[in-house]
């Protein structure tokens, strides 16, 4: 690990001002990902700006009936929050499927959004990686790529986004609130993370100096028919091979509205509005769930070791939708 300086700040303006005083500064909150990256020499900041004392540590009701999650609230406190459990159980379920209790006690909501890929080659500084060193190549393409992406890939990168929480936030249509050098703004969750394209080193659409302040959850009622399904190599402290966030509104055996997002398969949480619209108006049943799975995986591409994920994702989608609809005994 390289040498660095450290400072704590108590307001966003002071945090942003610190950026101009150093060559490679980084904000730090829980540090559960950044410290790993520093230990492996993937990230080498010369200055850490502690933002844990900023006033973004509450969960509050919004005037529109939604809920605002402070960016510095821990994952654990968010998952066990009474309002989150009652009104957004899909999110609570997703958070509790991730990491370990110890990490959830430290990790923040804003930090969860900022997680970097767990691609083997990204962490191995002896190998080429366009995400770590732009223009050096992608070792995963043609290499061992079992955990990597099958959707939205490019010739430059097949890395996956590792978060569970973000998959549920994508399905729920969350909004990310930002403050930065150019003032305050909000970003729809679908636009927050990027696909790799020809700039895989960019994980998201934040600008230099931006700080995530909060995440807004819309006032939707997906409290009855929901399921977060995570398929992984072991049941504890493992990243998803495939995950599915599914939520349905059902009346008289018909789907009124559907939400469906996938994790572990792309550079960002993968959601298809077209597939959700296809489900809306359909009768509940495994046949329509299978059609949805086939549609959302249309265009998926395997790279050898990870080709099995295509069929795995389809089966996971059918299972998640089946359980969300309350048809477990018929599955």
Q: What is the pLDDT of residues 77-92, one digit of tens each?
A: 999 999 999 999 999 9
Q: What is the pLDDT of residue 69?
A: 99
- Domain segments of the chain as ranges: 5-52, 225-326
| Number of other residues whose CB lies within 10 A of the CB of residue 216 | 18
DSSP state for residue 218 in the 8-state scheme: P
Q: What is the pLDDT of residues 269-315, one digit of tens each?
A: 999 999 999 999 999 999 999 999 999 999 999 999 999 999 999 99
Q: What is the pLDDT of residue 240?
A: 98
- Going by DSSP bridges, is the β-strand pair 59-61/183-188 parallel, antiparallel, or unpaired? unpaired
Average of per-residue pLDDT across 164-169: 98
| pLDDT greater than 50 at residue 331 | no
Q: Which of 230, 219, 269, 252 is nearest to 86 (CA)?
A: 219
| pLDDT greater than 50 at residue 251 | yes
Q: How far apart (Å, rounded) are the C-alpha atoms in residues 160 and 152?
A: 10
Q: What is the pLDDT of residue 83?
A: 98
* CATH, domain range 5-52: 3.30.43.10
Q: What is the pLDDT of residue 328?
A: 76
Place of tokens 């265009």: 299
CATH architecture of 225-326: 2-Layer Sandwich (3.30)
> Is residue 65 within 8 Å of residue 219, measured between CB atoms?
yes
Average of per-residue pLDDT across 112-134: 98
Average of per-residue pLDDT across 113-134: 98
| pLDDT greater than 90 at residue 1 | no
């Amino acid at each position: 690990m390289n040498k660095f300086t450290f400072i704590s700040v108590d307001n966003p303006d002071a945090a942003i001002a610190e950026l101009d005083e150093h060559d490679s500064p980084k904000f730090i909150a829980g540090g559960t990902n950044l410290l790993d990256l520093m230990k492996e020499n993937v990230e080498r900041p010369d200055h850490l700006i502690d933002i844990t004392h900023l006033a973004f540590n509450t969960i509050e009701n919004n005037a529109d009936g939604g809920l605002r999650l402070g960016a510095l609230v821990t994952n654990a406190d968010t998952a066990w929050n009474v309002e989150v459990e009652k009104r957004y159980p899909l999110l609570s379920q997703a958070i509790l499927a991730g990491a370990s209790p110890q990490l959830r006690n430290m990790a923040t909501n804003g930090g969860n959004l900022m997680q970097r890929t767990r691609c083997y080659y990204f962490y191995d500084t002896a190998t080429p990686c366009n995400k770590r060193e732009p223009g050096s190549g992608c070792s995963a393409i043609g290499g061992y790529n079992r955990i990597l992406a099958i959707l939205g890939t490019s010739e430059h990168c097949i890395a996956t986004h590792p978060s569970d929480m973000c998959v549920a936030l994508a399905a729920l249509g969350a909004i990310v609130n930002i403050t930065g050098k150019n003032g305050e703004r909000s970003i729809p969750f679908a636009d927050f993370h990027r696909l790799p394209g020809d700039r895989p080193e960019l994980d998201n659409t934040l600008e230099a100096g931006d700080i995530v302040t909060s995440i807004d959850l819309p006032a939707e009622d997906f409290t009855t028919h929901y399921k977060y399904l995570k398929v992984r190599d072991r049941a504890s402290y493992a990243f998803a091979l495939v995950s599915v966030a599914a939520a349905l509104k059902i009346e008289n055996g018909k789907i009124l509205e559907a939400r469906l997002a996938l994790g572990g398969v792309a550079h960002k949480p993968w959601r298809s509005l077209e597939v959700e619209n296809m489900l809306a108006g359909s009768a509940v049943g495994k046949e329509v769930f299978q059609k949805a799975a086939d549609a959302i995986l249309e265009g998926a591409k395997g790279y050898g070791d990870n080709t099995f994920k295509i069929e795995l994702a389809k089966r996971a989608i059918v299972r998640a939708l089946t359980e969300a609809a309350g048809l477990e005994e018929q599955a």
